[in-house]
Amino acid sequence: MIKVVRTFDFPGALEIEKEVFGDGFEIIEAPSSTEDELIENCRDADAVICEYEPFTRRVIDALPKLKLIAFGTIGFNYADVDHAKSKGIAVSHISKYCIREVADYTVGMMLNLNHRISAFHSLVKEDRQWAFDAFPGMRRFDTLTIGLLGFGNIPRLVAKRLKPFGVRLIAYDPFVDVAEVKAEYDTDMKSFEAVLAEADILSLHLPVTKDTGQIINSRNIAKMKDGVMLINSARGQLVDEAAITGGVESGKIQYYAADVLSEEDPDLSTHPFMDHDNIILTPHIAFYSEEAVREASFESAMNVKYFFDGNYKGAQIVNGVHV
């Protein structure tokens, strides 16, 4: 019997997992937010399905039976992936489950920021002002250059959704075929520095790695256009939050819209972003739809099943470990 522990609550997941696994698997729900809880609850697990729980070196070393860390998210930066590999433990993620939702969120936020919809809403409802010229400087959307950092599944859908608007699209991603991207998505691939310098709206779509952590810092913000609008629907760890605050306060960043913060469970009573009207926040909901929730549970469970069936490509292993 293969023991699988899911370390977070997720609506309806247990029924889907039981349906996928069938006989031969035992699935246990054991919400675990700390290292100690993970060690206690996953001690006998052959596999875990996780989300934002800290699978650190200490946790991994304390789980001798573990063979697979299966993320129920696109990102997998909450595990020490390299250490897992050194211990012969595979790490997988789900790559397709909410890409349409996040692409919709991103394009919607671009339109919101460019037309100042949130700002005008607050002006009317909170300040009781009815003034069309309160936020000057709005430009016609099809005159803008949209920059995408990363060009994987989500930004490709962003590009498709933006095509009818007639904007200029540029992107940075060193791992894509430049000619293919131009032909299929009408997007010009540029250097990282060029995307920063040319984008009126800059949208982040990078994974968090040693190279990309806090890649949006003071030095790189200085390379951006004055008044840039910045959107982060990827991971909060991609930005230096103090640098974002400084950029907003100086006017270098006109708007920062984020669905993610550096902490998954932030203290909103003390977070500096709460003091700035030009920082628009949503509570990590870009992924959400009823369809996406079901797909997340199904895809992560299938990764576990594929892995123990020996279908490592189907299991979406990200660290090259095959047992």
Catalytic residues, which ones? Answer: 235, 264, 284
Beta bridge partners of 90: 68
CA-CA distance, 107 to 148, in Å (whole number)?
A: 12
CA-based nearest residue to 224, from 169, 113, 141, 147: 147
Beta carbons of 299 and 16 less than 8 angstroms apart:
no
Q: Which residue has the tokens 């595990």?
A: 79
CA-based nearest residue to 57, from 30, 39, 76: 39
Phi-psi region of 93 (alpha: psi -120 to 50; beta: other; left: phi over 0): beta
Handedness of CA 308, 311, 312, 316 (dihedral sign): negative
CA-CA distance, 270 to 276, in Å (whole number)?
A: 13
